[in-house]
Structures are given as C-alpha cells and as structure tokens.
Structure 1
C-alpha cells in the first residue's frame, strides 16, 4: 500500500522547508510567509492528497477543531434544522466542524454525549433546545466553553442565545396598530400564567405596546391554548362570534393562526376583510396553507446558530444574554380598518 504523503513530501513538492509547510497548514504563518508561497504549499498539499494528522494536532493543542451540539429532539424538528444549518455554516467558516447528537430527551444519552465530546476534546459545546425555554446546563459541561441555544440558562453560568419574544410581541402589536386597528384580540400558545418564554414574552410585549398607544387590551378578547391548530379553531370561533368582536387577532404562532383562518371560513368571514390576522414563527411547512398569505414573524434560527458558534469560539469570560430579533414577514392577512369601516 502506498504510504500517505508527509509534510516533508509537501515541502519537496513546493520547494520550501518543512517548517514553512507546518506554518501554512496550521494557519500560523501570520505574515511570515508570503501569499505566493502559501498558495504554492496549499497547491502542493492538494496535489499530493496530504491530510493533517488530526489526532496529533489535538494532542499538541489540547483541543480539536470540532464543536459539539447537544439537543433534545433538535435534529428531528423541521424548523429547528435551520439552527443546525446556521451553526454548521459558521463552524465551517471558522475552520471547524459540528458534531451533533440528538438525545431525544434521554438523560443517559445526554451524559454519554457529553463524555464522548470530552474525549474528543471539542472546542466547545452548544446546548440546544427544541423550543425556547429555560434549561439547567448539565454539570458535566463545566470546564468546557458552552452556550445555550434557543434556551436560557437560569443560573447565568453560560451565555444564552434565544429569540427576543417580548420584542416580537411589541412588533406584532405595531403591525396592527399601524394599519389603524383598535379592536384587537389575541390567542396565546400557553395556559394563563404560563412561564414558557414564547407565551409569556409575546403576550407581555403585545399588551404593553397596546397600552402605551392608548389602546387598553380587553381581557375578554384573550384566549389561551397550547399552540395547536385546534386552539386557533376553538379560540377563533369564540372570539369571532362575540357580540362585540375583535377586528384583528394576533396568534402567538402560525399553527394557531391556521386554526383561526378555518374558524373565520366556517363563520363566513374573510381574512383580512372581516378580520386581520398576524402569526408568529414563519414555519415553512405551513406557509403554503394560508390563503391569503399570512403576515408573521421569522424566528431567527439560522442567525442564532451562527451566533452560538461565534460565542463558543470567542471564549469570553463574561456571560451574556443575547436576545435575537424576530423579523417581520409582511404579507396579505392584515388590512386597513377602512376595509370594513
């Protein structure tokens, strides 16, 4: 079997010293090697099929070029795949690869994943959640640069990257207010008093913005649910059959909004002529189901993934709480008040 090419082989091919090859391939030349020489070394390595001895490199540097991502069902959640893609792209851009483990909520598998990543001496770990919530970081990750993704660490021991739910609720209220609406209801995605960040944050931001604009929120126009289609259908039927009904409704996620659309159709009402609707999440699988197209807010999943990788590699001593903006997707489900006035 033909021996694998060595750094000495690359040096001979490029006409440089082995030390020069080492500096170029380990990206440590820092101006000591010209761009022309660096390119010659890279071309020679490619021609010979040279591959760096990763295990030796890990032993020398004490860490690998891998970043671990541990998630509870993240890999099997369609929209959460965007987080992994964003993280993967940023890791690759920075010369790293992503090692992903989906624990399916199994604590034993999680511990095994942590142990494996310690063995691989990963550069850091991203501890990710399927949906935005508060998570206790496993003690096994102490000593490893760690970032919570789509989750918040209550203890504040590590940096957390998550959607800005309150800002999203405020922005949803402004979309309806700027269209001239004053009779505004809401169907939330958690029970009354829920501490789920998406439910409590979107509700808080929404109500505070209405109040600040002199449009006090009416409690009888608020419904609670679990974020499912059925909650939108049930809440929509209740709200749209009130003697004094809202003319615009904020649904705290798109699945709820889809149920509301069907409720309006069953009652012979039209979106947006009879009721304007705003959703949240911008789920790609649901988008084609809305006629007319739903005005909603994009969860910044890919951006959060990229930011988590950047924070892991920055290794700053100060922990942060990074709330990322949810961007509006303005479509056809919100009409001016004049349509029905």
Structure 2
C-alpha cells in the first residue's frame, strides 16, 4: 500500500491555521502578516507530518523553478572554491532552493561570457551567482541582468548587480598590527608578482599597517611567484635585510619562507616570525610550528550570495542599494604558533 503524502491541507489542520497561512509561511511570501509564533507552529507541523512541497505544481503555478545557478570562473578547481560552494549549498538548502553549478574557464578579460549565463537561463533558474577571483571589476552581459543576480569576488562595472568581496586590505593591515603589537619593528612582506586584485589589496594593507605603526617599509618588500618556490626566493632576499618577521602573500609562499629560514639557521618563531594569508588547508596545520595566517571568508561569501539572491527573488531586498554599496566581509587573523616577540637585541 502506498503511504499517503501530507499536503498543505493536512499541515493547516495540524497547525490550526488556514491553508493560505501555510502557503505564506512555507513559501516565505513577502509582505504578509504572520506572527513568528504562528510561523513556527506551521513549520513544526510540516516537519512532524513530513510535508514536502510539490515543486512541479508550484513551478507551473508561479513560473518559479526554485533553482539558483552558480557560475564559477575556474575556482571550482582551486583549493578555496569548496568553501564558497559549501556556503552557497548549505544556504540554498536552508532556503529550500536547488543550487546548480557551471565551472567556466578562466577569462583573461573582464567581460563575463554570456553563453555561460544563457545556459542557466535556458534552464529557467530564478537567479544567478557569478564568482571570480581574478578581476576587481567585471563587465556583465545584458542577459545576466535579466534575472536577479549576485557577484562573488568582483564588482559590476555598471554598479547594477549586488556584490560581496573579501576585505583583504584590512586583513593584511591587521597582520602588521598584530606583529607590531608583539614588538616587531622590521616586518618584511613577501609579495606576489602576479597582477591580480589580491596582490594589490594585500600590499596596500601591509603598507597601511606599517604606516599606522610608524614603521619603515622601503627596503622590506620583495616579490616572487605566488608559490613555495617564489616564497623561498623572496624570503632569501628579504632575510639579507634582517627582518624579525616575514608576512607572506599566501600560505604557499610561507612554505618557502620556512625553508629559507631553515637554511639560514633561524628558528621559527624564536628568531623569525612568519605569517601567511588564505588559511588554505592543510598547509597551516601541516607546518611546524603551525602557521599563523589570515582566513578568507569563502564560506560566508557563498552563503551571502545565496541569501541575498533569495531575498531579491522574493522582493525582500533592494537591489539598487545592494549594487551601489558592495558588501565587504572581514578576513580575520588566525593565530597559531609561528609568531613570537622578537629576541632581545634583534635588529631594529
């Protein structure tokens, strides 16, 4: 015998409310006057009865697919992308939405590929998220503006699409502040030679921090490739200038800084403090001593994009206001074992 599936009528009877009220609560209908107590009672009744919405029937009635498309610009193959996707997926589940993903190739130009957007539009998605880590500003095609949309990691050149970005500049400045507070005066920066937004933001943050602390930085910056080899070479160059701390552009460069310090006979952190950026698992916890670094809010950006997109779809947020003022999320310092006060008598 087939088990009967609970419907809206059953939920309404169980909660002691009208079917209209149940519909408003479970579909998060905007601008309705349902008390939180009533809404909680409806949700509890739906859960107790095992109610599941008939998406096909609802879609035919409302022309909504309850699906959001996420276009990633090659970040689905990077170590960071998993957190963005996880944040987006968990928020989509919480909102009773389906998340579909297209992994696009890295675009050297700031123009978004309209064909990738059209692939989602052909599937009748309710909204689209575009995620990139390569450009400060992107040029959105017209078809991206045909649905509610949100950007992760970049801003829209026309200022028409809501965006969320990491505050890498403030995160880098916070590292310098932490090191200065520990007593360091010669803080070097192993920068990336690649011209991307993160390179510029982190260098500016380092310079901000040094200026705020009243510390010189003229001879304490060296650039290399954004990997362990580049970090090793940049750190060797910097160690000739006798820093007491080296702040690296990313955790991979910090791996090279550890090697350079070892070759010079320096003990971390007793002789040299080292800090990374990205909190890229499993690097920080795999180094000895474990690496102090800065965490990028990938999970939070993914969740923010889905949350704001869902609100825009249901008319609960103001798109123009969100687009004109991109959201910037903090990049907190994650303190581990690689930072200590400088030895007495260290070069200043």
- Shorter-chain TM band: 0.7 to 0.9
> Runs of 5+ in structure 1 lacking a partner?
none
Equivalent residues of 2:207, 2:217 under 8 A apart: yes
| 1:138 is aligned to 2:141 | yes
Give CA-to-partner distance per residue, 1:230-271, whole Å, 9 cap, x none: 11111112222x2x4212111011101110100111222111
CA distance in 2, matches of 1:166, 1:88: 28
CA distance in 1, matches of 2:294, 2:237: 25
Q: Higher mean Cα deviation, 111-120 or 93-102? A: 111-120
CA distance in 2, matches of 1:305, 1:268: 43
| 1:296 is aligned to 2:301 | no
Tell me which of 152, 160, 165 is aligned to 1:162. Answer: 165
**Greater C-alpha radius of gyration:** 1
- 1:271-290 aligned at under 5 Å gives the runs 271-290=268-287
After TM superposition, the score normalised by the length of structure 2 is: 0.82
Give SS of 1:326's match: coil
CA displacement at 1:78 relative to structure 2: 2.3
Give SS of 1:292's match: coil
CA displacement at 1:334 relative to structure 2: 1.3
Q: Give the aligned CA root-mean-square deviation in angstroms.
A: 3.2
Give SS of 2:282's match: coil
CA displacement at 1:116 relative to structure 2: 3.5
Give SS of 1:82's match: helix
Tell me which of 312, 323, 327 is aligned to 1:322. Answer: 327
Is the alpha carbon distance of 1:96 and 1:164 closer, same or farther for their aligned partners in structure 2, counting shifts above 3 Å?
same
> Runs of 5+ in structure 2 lacking a partner?
313-317
| 1:152 is aligned to 2:155 | yes
Name the residue aligned to 2:236.
237
Is the alpha carbon distance of 1:177 and 1:63 closer, same or farther for their aligned partners in structure 2, counting shifts above 3 Å?
same
CA displacement at 1:322 relative to structure 2: 1.3
Give SS of 1:281's match: coil
Name the residue aligned to 1:335.
340
After TM superposition, the score normalised by the length of structure 1 is: 0.84
CA distance in 1, matches of 2:184, 2:116: 51
CA distance in 2, matches of 1:204, 1:12: 57
Q: How many residues align?
A: 330
CA distance in 2, matches of 1:330, 1:21: 47
Equivalent residues of 2:251, 2:293 under 8 A apart: yes
| 1:206 is aligned to 2:212 | no
CA distance in 2, matches of 1:68, 1:52: 21
CA distance in 2, matches of 1:24, 1:165: 39
Is the alpha carbon distance of 1:112 and 1:290 closer, same or farther for their aligned partners in structure 2, counting shifts above 3 Å?
same
Equivalent residues of 1:7, 1:21 under 8 A apart: no
